[in-house]
């Protein structure tokens, strides 16, 4: 909005399809919502009860500026137990969500005009987060024909004297791809050869279906040049608690802490206590949740394979399916609009995730198999996808 009282940085809208999707939910009273990656699974009852018992017992104050020390120690123990990767408490800081962690990391490392490479399709906020921290986003295209893996030669070609960092996100939002060990090793070697940082946006670590997740920081020579972004939102169904963390060399953590003092001060104390209890119960919380998402995503994949005009790669990771709709001849936005209007199913257009997303729609598998069946019954009935037009009963 152009107005003399609004910063000129925001005169041109920076709203995205993801940010505006909630306004579409009111258009129909029977919408099935595949738009946002907000699990329909409520945070485990044990976590909720324990966190609020802690609140009653006095955990309602500011924590340490680096975060609740008990939580930081639990996270350090987690990395040792899960990945045999010891982390010192000085290398860990708690943040108000993974998105906040990303902004803090970028603010800490970027000088004006520094370039950050992001692989496309990308998580929608990345470009603007980089611009907000006075950096320049540089897009690395990836393609379905290559399983959305990063091509090392194309990555090298984008590196300039101003390149400071590469952001990686695997398992990936929106494509669901999981980078192979060869891809990870290639990215690591390029970062070392060009003295670059890696910001690893490790939000879906438990949703790697084909092979165990391997953090970038654990690869040889990458500990000192990797900033790991973690979150409790998806791995523990805790989106509303807004808790994340950063693992990085201690001098970066110190800088992030100093920045955060002038931003949100500390993350919410009750949410940090919830994270402590989530980590301690992870072995019982996570397996059934992961199995449920695998069931949903496999069912959706099978239905997509049966619908003319739609195709998708086999599920590999994350909570998402990135569905190819190029055979319809419609743009991503046109297809998403038709699906909403004719089937009352809300999906996100693929171009919300960058130019490589054109010709796709993203589905977040955050509703039950029963609801997913209803959604695909409606979609399959659309004339656009070979149906008879009776998509709404």
Using an 8 Å Cβ cutoff, are 332 and 294 in contact?
A: no
* Gap between the Cα atoms of 263 and 151, Å rounded: 37
- Quote the pTM value: 0.94
The dihedral built from the CA positions of residue 299, 305, 310 and 313, taken in this order, carries a sign that is positive
Using an 8 Å Cβ cutoff, are 300 and 321 in contact?
A: yes
Cα-flanking dihedrals φ and ψ of residue 198, to 5°? -110, 130
Please name the residue that has the structure tokens 């960058």.
354
Task: Give the model confidence (pLDDT) of 266-293 as tens digits.
Answer: 999 999 999 999 999 999 999 999 999 9
3-state helix, strand, coil in the chain (%, to 5): 45, 15, 40
Cα-flanking dihedrals φ and ψ of residue 111, to 5°? -95, 160
Pairing mode, strands 197-201 and 163-168 = parallel
In the chain, what is the greatest distance between 2 CA atoms, to the nearest angstrom? 62
Query: Could you give the angle at the alpha carbon of 242 between the alpha carbons of 237 and 245, nearest 5°?
Result: 95
Residue 212: count other Cβ atoms within 10 Å of its Cβ: 8
**Digits of tens for pLDDT over the chain (393 positions)?**
888 888 888 888 776 665 555 566 667 889 999 999 898 999 999 999 999 999 999 999 999 999 999 999 999 999 999 999 999 999 999 999 999 999 999 999 999 999 999 999 999 999 999 999 999 999 999 999 999 999 999 999 999 999 999 999 999 999 999 999 999 999 999 999 999 999 999 999 999 998 999 999 999 999 999 999 999 999 999 999 999 999 999 999 999 999 999 999 999 999 999 999 999 999 999 999 999 999 999 999 999 999 999 999 999 999 999 999 999 999 999 999 999 999 999 999 999 999 999 999 999 999 999 999 999 999 999 999 988 876 565
* Gap between the Cα atoms of 87 and 102, Å rounded: 19
* Gap between the Cα atoms of 323 and 28, Å rounded: 23
- Virtual CA dihedral for 92, 93, 99, 104, nearest 10 degrees? -100
Enter the tokens of residue 24.
Answer: 């579409």
């Amino acid at each position: 909005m152009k107005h003399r009282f609004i910063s000129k940085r925001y005169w041109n809208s920076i709203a995205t399809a993801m940010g505006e999707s909630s306004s579409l939910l009111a258009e129909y009273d029977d919408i099935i919502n595949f738009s946002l990656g907000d699990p329909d699974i409520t945070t485990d009852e044990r976590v909720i009860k324990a966190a609020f018992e802690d609140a009653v017992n006095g955990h309602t104050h500011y924590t340490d500026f680096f975060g609740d020390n008990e939580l930081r120690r639990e996270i350090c123990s987690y990395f040792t137990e899960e990945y045999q990767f010891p982390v010192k408490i000085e290398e860990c800081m708690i943040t108000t969500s993974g998105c906040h962690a990303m902004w803090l990391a970028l603010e800490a490392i970027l000088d004006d005009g520094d370039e950050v490479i992001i692989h496309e399709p990308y998580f929608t906020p990345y470009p603007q987060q980089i611009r907000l921290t006075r950096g320049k986003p540089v897009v690395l295209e990836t393609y379905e024909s290559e399983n959305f893996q990063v091509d090392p030669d194309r990555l090298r070609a984008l590196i300039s004297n101003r390149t400071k960092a590469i952001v990686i996100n695997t398992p990936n939002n929106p494509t669901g791809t999981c980078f192979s060990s060869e891809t990870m090793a290639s990215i690591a070697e390029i970062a070392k050869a060009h003295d670059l940082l890696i910001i690893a946006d490790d939000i879906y670590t438990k949703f790697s279906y084909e092979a165990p997740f391997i953090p970038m920081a654990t690869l040889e020579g990458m500990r000192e040049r990797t900033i790991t972004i973690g979150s409790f939102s998806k791995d523990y169904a805790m989106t509303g608690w807004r808790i994340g963390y950063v693992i990085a060399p201690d001098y970066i953590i110190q800088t992030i802490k100093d920045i955060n003092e002038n931003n949100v001060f500390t993350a919410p104390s009750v949410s940090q206590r919830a994270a402590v209890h989530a980590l301690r119960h992870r072995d019982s919380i996570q397996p059934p949740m992961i199995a449920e998402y695998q069931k949903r995503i496999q069912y959706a994949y099978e239905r997509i394979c049966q619908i003319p005009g739609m195709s998708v790669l086999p599920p590999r990771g994350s909570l998402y399916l990135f569905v190819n709709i190029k055979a319809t001849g419609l743009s991503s936005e046109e297809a998403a609009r038709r699906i909403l209007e004719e089937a009352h199913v809300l999906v996100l257009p693929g171009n919300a995730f960058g130019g490589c997303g054109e010709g796709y729609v993203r589905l977040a598998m955050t509703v039950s198999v029963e609801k997913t069946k209803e959604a695909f019954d409606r979609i399959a009935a659309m004339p656009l996808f070979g149906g008879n037009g009776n998509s709404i009963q």
